[in-house]
Amino acid sequence: MELKNNEMERLYAETFHRIEEGSVLKGRIIAVKQDGVIIDIGYKSDGFVPIEEFSPEEISGLQEGNTIEVYVESTRHVNGIINLSKKAATKIKAWDIIESALETGVPVEGIISGKTKGGLSVDILGVTAFLPGSQIDVKMVKDFDGLLNKRMMFKVLKLNNKRSNVIVSHRAILEEERQKKKVETLEKLKDGAVFNGFVKNITDYGVFVDLGGVDGLLHISDISWGRITHPSEFFAVGDDLDVIILKYDEEQKRVTLGYKQKKTDPWSTIDERYPVAKKIKGKVVSITEYGAFVELEEGLEGLVHISELDWLPKPKHPSKYLSIGETVEAVILKVDKNERRLSLSIKQLKPSPWELVAEKYKAGQKITGKVKSITDFGVFVGLPEGVDGLIHISDLSWTKHIKHPSEVIKKGQKVDAVVLSVETDKERIALGMKQLADDPWLNEIPARFKLGDEVKSKVLRLTDFGVFVEIEGEVEGLIYSSEVVKTEEPLKEGDMLLARIIKIDLEERKIGLSMKNLKAEAE
C-alpha cells in the first residue's frame, strides 16, 4: 500500500512542468489580490507577483485568465507559493531585444525619461539607456525639456557585456531617412522650384539649408532686398523656411537658393512708384561722411548727399543733422533704375536762402557780417541768411597792393562791406570793402600827385623788378629797377627815401617813381 502511494506521488509530480530558478516563463492569472497577483505557471505550486511590480495602468488591466511573462526567483515555496517577478522578466526580455537590435540594426522604441549630463535618459522596456546630445537630431537641439516623455525610435550604438551603459541614437535613424529623402529630393530639384527646409548652419556669407537630405546655400545677398549685415539677423539654426532654387548644378551637386526672390524686386517698379520730385518719408539706416542712407521700404534705399542736407556752403557732418532710426521727409531728385541708385534731398523741402538773399540784397547796399574764412583770393563773410559773401582781394583797398587778405583782415572780425552783385543761379554774392569810399584814382590822386613831384616814400617790399613803396602813407608806387640808386647800405623794408614821380597811369591805377632822376638833378 505504501509503495502504491509513492508511485502515485511520482506520477502526479510528472504531470507538472519542470521549472528552474532564473528562468522566464509564461503564466496565467488566476487571482488578483490587494497585495499581489496569483499566477498559474503549470507547477504544483502557484506563483506570486507583488502588486508593487505593476504600474497603475497595468493594475487596471489585470484580469483573471490573462497570460503574462514572469521570472522565477526561487523554486522554494512558502505556504505553497513560489516567488515570481514581472519586472525581472520584462528586463531580461528587454535586454534580449536590445542585444538583438545592436546585432541586427533594427530600431527599438523608447521613451525619453529625463535629462542627464551631456544628453537624455531613455526608457527602453524598463532599461535605462543614454542618448548623447549629439545623437538627438541632425540639427542642434537647444530645448531638452520639450523632449521629455516623448516616445520615439532609437538605434542601439553600444552595449557592454554587463548589460549596462546602453548608448542609443535617434539621429542615426533620421540620417537613414535623410538618405532616402535625398534620392527623392534630387529627383525634384530644378531651377525655380520652391522647397521647404530648415537652417542647418549659419556663416558670415550665408545660410546652409537642409532641403531633405540635400544641403543648399542661401547666400547673404539673396536673403533680403534690403540692407543686411549678417544672416543671423534673419535666421537661427533650426528655423523652418521656404526657399527658391535659383540654380542646381547637377554635376557638382551644388544648390544655390534664394529667399528674397519670393518677393518682387522693389527696383523693378521704382519709376512708377517713386517719380522725380515726389515727397517721401523714410527711416535713416546709415550715416557716412558723404551723406545718409534713407530706407523708403524694404530693399529700397536712397542717398541724401551731404550737399543736400543743408543750404550752408559747407554743411556739417551728416551726424549733426540726422541720427540712425530717425524718420525724415525728403524729395526725390534722381532715379537710376539700372544702377539701383536713388538720390534724395532734404534741403529742397526748405526755402533756398538764396531766394531770400535775392529779395533782401541789392547792388550798392551796405551790409555788416563776420569773417568766416580767409583764402589766398579773398575773404568770406557770413550773412544772417546762412550764406557767405566773397570780398575778393582786389576789392579790399583802392590804393594798397595786398599780397594776402590776412594782412588786413582777421578771421572772426566784423566788417562792413558793399553788395557788388547777387547771382542766385550760381549761388554767389560779391562784396567789396574799398567801395565803402570813393575811388581816389578818379579825383583825389590826380589832384594830389603830379608828374615830377618829389615825394617821401617808405619801402614796403623788394622785388627783382623794383621796389614797392608807400607814398605819403596812403598810395603805393613802384620804383623800377632801372630807376633805383644803389646806396652804401642796401635798401630794406621800412627805409624812408625820396623819389620823383615819373609816371601816373589812372587807368591801370599805377604810379611810377625814380631815384635816379632825383639824383641827376642834384648833381
Q: How confident is the model at residue 88 (pLDDT cuts 50, 70, 90)?
A: confident
What CATH superfamily classification does 275-329 receive?
Answer: Nucleic acid-binding proteins (2.40.50.140)
- 3-state SS, 214-264, equals CEEEEEHHHCCCCCCCCHHHCCCCCCEEEEEEEEEECCCCEEEEECHHHCC
- What contacts 143, CB < 8 A, 6 or more positions away? none
Of 344, 328, 337, 352, which Cα lies nearest the Cα of 277?
344
pLDDT at 5: 52
pLDDT at 377: 93
DSSP letter for each residue of 184-224: HHHHH--TT-EEEEEEEEE-SSEEEEESSS-EEEEEGGGT-
Helix (H) / strand (E) containing 166: strand 166-169
pLDDT at 55: 81
- What contacts 320, CB < 8 A, 6 or more positions away? none
| Single-letter residue type at 99 | E
Q: How confident is the model at residue 520 (pLDDT cuts 50, 70, 90)?
A: low
Are 481 and 466 in contact by the 8 Å Cβ rule? The answer is yes
- pTM greater than the 0.85 cutoff: no
Beta strands in 338-491 (DSSP E): 341-345, 366-374, 378-382, 388-392, 414-423, 428-432, 454-462, 466-471, 475-480
Q: Could you give the CA distance from residue 466 to residue 483 in angstroms, rounded to a whole number?
A: 8
158-162, 240-244, 460-464: range with lowest mean pLDDT: 158-162
Rounded average pLDDT over 456-472: 89
Are 415 and 382 in contact by the 8 Å Cβ rule? The answer is no
- What contacts 230, CB < 8 A, 6 or more positions away? 204, 220
The residue among 74 and 504 whose pLDDT is bigger is 504
Q: Could you give the CA distance from residue 88 to residue 159 in angstroms, rounded to a whole number?
A: 19
Say yes or no to pLDDT of 399 above 60.
yes
Say yes or no to pLDDT of 523 above 80.
no
* Burial of 94 (C-beta count, 10 Å sphere; 0-12/13-18/19+): buried
- What contacts 484, CB < 8 A, 6 or more positions away? 466, 467, 491, 515, 516
Rounded average pLDDT over 376-399: 89
Rounded average pLDDT over 209-236: 89
pLDDT at 161: 57
Q: Could you give the CA distance from residue 376 to residue 358 in angstroms, rounded to a whole number?
A: 27
Are 276 and 332 in contact by the 8 Å Cβ rule? The answer is yes
- CA-based torsion, 333, 339, 340, 341: positive or negative: negative
pLDDT at 162: 63
pLDDT at 384: 82
Domain 444-522 has CATH 2.40.50.140: yes
The predicted-structure confidence for 260-290, as pLDDT tens digits, reads as follows 988 888 888 888 899 999 999 999 999 999 9
The SS3 assignment for 400 reads coil
pLDDT at 418: 94
Say yes or no to pLDDT of 98 above 90.
no
The label of the residue with cell 529625463 reads 114
* Burial of 419 (C-beta count, 10 Å sphere; 0-12/13-18/19+): buried
Q: How confident is the model at residue 11 (pLDDT cuts 50, 70, 90)?
A: very low
Cell digits for 476? Answer: 603805393
pLDDT at 214: 87
Are 293 and 284 in contact by the 8 Å Cβ rule? The answer is yes
pLDDT at 1: 47
pLDDT at 324: 93
Are 242 and 252 in contact by the 8 Å Cβ rule? The answer is no
Partners of 300 in the β-ladder: 297
Q: Could you give the CA distance from residue 392 to residue 411 in angstroms, rounded to a whole number?
A: 15
Q: How confident is the model at residue 112 (pLDDT cuts 50, 70, 90)?
A: very high
- What contacts 108, CB < 8 A, 6 or more positions away? 97, 98, 101, 124, 125, 153, 154, 155, 156, 168
Helix (H) / strand (E) containing 60: helix 56-60
Say yes or no to pLDDT of 3 above 60.
no
What CATH superfamily classification does 353-436 receive?
Answer: Nucleic acid-binding proteins (2.40.50.140)
Q: Which fold has domain 189-262?
A: OB fold (Dihydrolipoamide Acetyltransferase, E2P) (2.40.50)
- CA-based torsion, 274, 276, 282, 287: positive or negative: positive
Q: Could you give the CA distance from residue 415 to residue 384 in angstroms, rounded to a whole number?
A: 14
Beta strands in 273-326 (DSSP E): 279-288, 291-297, 300-305
Rounded average pLDDT over 211-236: 89
Backbone angles phi, psi at 280, to 5 degrees: -135, 165
What CATH superfamily classification does 17-89 receive?
Answer: Nucleic acid-binding proteins (2.40.50.140)
Rounded average pLDDT over 450-479: 88
270-285 in b/e burial notation, b at 16+ Cβ within 10 A?
beeebeeeeebebebe
pLDDT at 256: 93
161-170, 213-222, 291-300, 396-405: range with lowest mean pLDDT: 161-170
Q: Could you give the CA distance from residue 274 to residue 332 in angstroms, rounded to a whole number?
A: 7
| Single-letter residue type at 102 | L
For the chain, give every residue range classified as CATH 2.40.50.140: 17-89, 189-262, 275-329, 353-436, 444-522
The residue among 304 and 520 whose pLDDT is bigger is 304
Tell me the pLDDT of the chain averaged across its residues: 86
The predicted-structure confidence for 128-180, as pLDDT tens digits, reads as follows 899 998 898 877 787 888 889 999 999 999 887 566 689 999 999 888 888 88
